[in-house]
Structure 1
Amino acid sequence: MKGREVRVEALARGGHIAALAVDGRLEDLLIDPDPADPTPRPEAIFRAVAGRPMKGIGGVMLELGRNRTGFLRTPRPPRPGAGVIVQVSAWAEDGKAPPVSDRPLVKGRAAILTPGAPGHNIARSLRDPERRAALAALAETAMRGAPEGLGLILRSAAGDLADAAIAAEIAALRAEAERLTPEGPGGELRPAPGAAAEAAREWLAPGEKMVEGLGDLWDAVAALADPRAPIGAGFMAIEPTRALVAVDVNTGGDTSPAAALKANLAAARDLPRQLRLRGLGGQVTIDFAPLAKAERAQVEKALNAALRADGIDTTLAGWTPLGHLELLRRRSRRPIGAIPEGAGAGRGRGAEMSRRA
């Protein structure tokens, strides 16, 4: 399969699984959680009620409704009982409340509205001066009469969409954003997008359509149940623990003089994709194959290039005295856990593998 393809399939337990493939390789994956799971999802916006400040950890616990809580890290916590608009910023760690932000983003395909952050901004990736000027004029017109403090960001996708479609999306997002006020009963005001909706928003190019059913991509999805990810003749083992994600790079059957460097560079290039597909974040510790200090710069360069294309906030924390490289990665995805079962039949070997995983 050549080219780029977005596939989506309904899950037997409800919700969807969406996959992005480029030249037949699985590049990204979104899976809806079990519909019975009440855990707040990233991007969901709530009208929350502030609890008592927790000065020891620099924040405040918030009631999100339906016996759900969130944690807002802030030096100026709202008074207890006050209403506050917050957005879930990452998946919760086991046994902890999800982190939330009091600077919500109302995101669409072409535009993002930013309550509390005024101004009009255009993605830097849009470099054509004429297109930027046209988009600036469109933004001025579309945001005329908006509440003070409501800002707008035009995303990269705005460069390829029709002006009428962008203006219509901004109008719809404004209607949502202008309803986000702290007064009123607590609860969810804007749900997080499902896997199918997020895939359409983030992956589809103008005029492109989703393909129904994952087909042979189920093989690649089922393979994520194995902690071992092949990298040429070697492999890396990616194993999440409660404290961190441990990555061990191995040369496998390659016994050539440059085997370790080849395996380490291949691991650095593919690690962000593997973490993305597996939904892993937080602290990541990489134990590379035997690596000379003089080769660290090469490995870091390869990893940084892969991270720039990844899209998930990740910080290289540095090398430990034992020679491990540590990363800190945002928990924007949920660990994949058990491979879900699709609602359709006839998936062939991929279906059989997903049942066994």
Structure 2
Amino acid sequence: MKGRQILLDHLGDREAAALMVDGQLDDLLIDGDAPAPGTIYRARADRPVKGQGGMFLSTPDGSAFLRQVKGLSPGENLLVQVTGYAEPGKAMPVTTRILFKSRYAIVTPGAPGLNVSRGIRDEDERDRLLEIAHETMGEGAGGEGAGDLGLIVRTGAEGAEAGEIAEDIAAMAELARRVMGDAQGAPEKLVEGDGPHLLAWRDWTDPAEVVSDKGCFDSHGVTEAIDAARGPRVPLAGGGTMYVEPTRALVAVDVNTGADGSMAAGLKANIAAARALPRALRVRGLGGQVVLDLAPLPKKERRIFESALRAAFKSDPVETVFSGWTPLGNFELQRKRARLPLA
């Protein structure tokens, strides 16, 4: 089926959301048992980790780990936000740079200024959105005890009704004022991270058909696509294959040319793998260190592959760092653990 579909259903007793693009599973969000990214805590500094520049914190949901803690002493209270899912047996990763995200706006405490996403290029539309932002935020939007609030108008606001955008900005600013002014007291969960259905509404803003009927995963091919994603094999354009296999230490990606015996077979398979990799990692919920064992590729063609890889990840919503080539000719990525692993 051509076009985009957003499907809201459940996998067993877990809330889930799927994005289908031209009949192919493009993204998958599944509710988990661990605190979701975006959850905000009032935490208490527990003990520093010597040599790592970090500190363990106490929260109502267990231990959290905060990097870059210069000037923080054990016993102090602070506000932190969960940034991703932890590896098994490790503390939750958190940050003190708290963001309040909604469909049209991101409110940024401690980073004043009104900005519009660079994804919106029409100057008249940018001026319209900035005018709405100024009218809604006003002067001194931080409020007593909350510090200065900044605002980023998101790409999803382009073309939206002014009243809806203003309401969204006002709601996020009010939430930010209340939370940032509530730093004192025992460790407590202040804001629950968004679930899959709310995340789908917040982040999948391109035009799409929304289906929320019970059992829509089965009737629209999502269940079948999820079953296929549980395996490592990913078919590539041109007849090659890619295998994506998570281990405890890293995610291993192996690229094969298949039956193509031409001189350019390696480059073609590797470019096809570059284009398919962001979706394969999103759907499987994989992050951390990713190592690509590519099909045979001469050094003179590495730049072509890198360009294709960077272009493929440009629109991917999960933060990914390109670490480069290893002495053995593998390519490494470092990817944020922003998804619950499908496994």
Kindly state the Cα deviation for residue 270 of structure 1 after the two structures are TM-superposed. Answer: 0.7
Kindly state the Cα deviation for residue 75 of structure 1 after the two structures are TM-superposed. Answer: 4.0
Taking the aligned partners of 1:78 and 1:29, their CA distance within structure 2 comes to: 38
Pairing of 1:58-137 with structure 2 (within 5 A)? 58-66=53-61, 68-137=62-131
1:228 equivalenced with 2:228 (yes/no):
no
Deviation by residue 1:192-222 (Cα, 9 ceiling, x = unmatched) = 1111110111114469534431221221111
Kindly state the Cα deviation for residue 171 of structure 1 after the two structures are TM-superposed. Answer: 1.5
Pairing of 1:1-357 with structure 2 (within 5 A)? 1-13=1-13, 15-33=14-32, 37=33, 39-66=34-61, 68-144=62-138, 145-147=140-142, 148-180=147-179, 181-205=182-206, 209-212=210-213, 213-214=216-217, 215-232=220-237, 233-337=239-343
Taking the aligned partners of 1:287 and 1:303, their CA distance within structure 2 comes to: 14
Taking the aligned partners of 1:288 and 1:140, their CA distance within structure 2 comes to: 50
Deviation by residue 1:174-200 (Cα, 9 ceiling, x = unmatched) = 221112131133221111111111011
Taking the aligned partners of 1:204 and 1:211, their CA distance within structure 2 comes to: 16
Kindly state the Cα deviation for residue 11 of structure 1 after the two structures are TM-superposed. Answer: 3.1
Deviation by residue 1:26-55 (Cα, 9 ceiling, x = unmatched) = 11111112xxx2x22211111111112223
Taking the aligned partners of 2:81 and 2:253, their CA distance within structure 1 comes to: 31
Is this contact kept in 2: 1:161–1:206, CA < 8 A?
no
Of the structure 1 ranges 284-293 and 136-145, higher mean CA displacement relative to structure 2 is found in 136-145
RMSD: 1.6
> Where in structure 2 are there 5+ consecutive unaligned residues?
none
Taking the aligned partners of 1:88 and 1:159, their CA distance within structure 2 comes to: 28
Taking the aligned partners of 1:335 and 1:114, their CA distance within structure 2 comes to: 29
Taking the aligned partners of 1:10 and 1:204, their CA distance within structure 2 comes to: 21
Taking the aligned partners of 1:207 and 1:9, their CA distance within structure 2 comes to: 16
1:226 match: secondary structure? coil
Is this contact kept in 2: 1:160–1:206, CA < 8 A?
no
TM-score normalised by structure 1 residue count: 0.89
Is this contact kept in 2: 1:6–1:204, CA < 8 A?
no
Of the structure 1 ranges 206-215 and 266-275, higher mean CA displacement relative to structure 2 is found in 206-215
Kindly state the Cα deviation for residue 12 of structure 1 after the two structures are TM-superposed. Answer: 2.5
Taking the aligned partners of 1:254 and 1:209, their CA distance within structure 2 comes to: 40
Of the structure 1 ranges 273-282 and 197-206, higher mean CA displacement relative to structure 2 is found in 197-206
TM-score normalised by structure 2 residue count: 0.92
Amino-acid identity (%): 48
**Which residue identity is paired with 2:44?**
V
Taking the aligned partners of 2:332 and 2:301, their CA distance within structure 1 comes to: 16
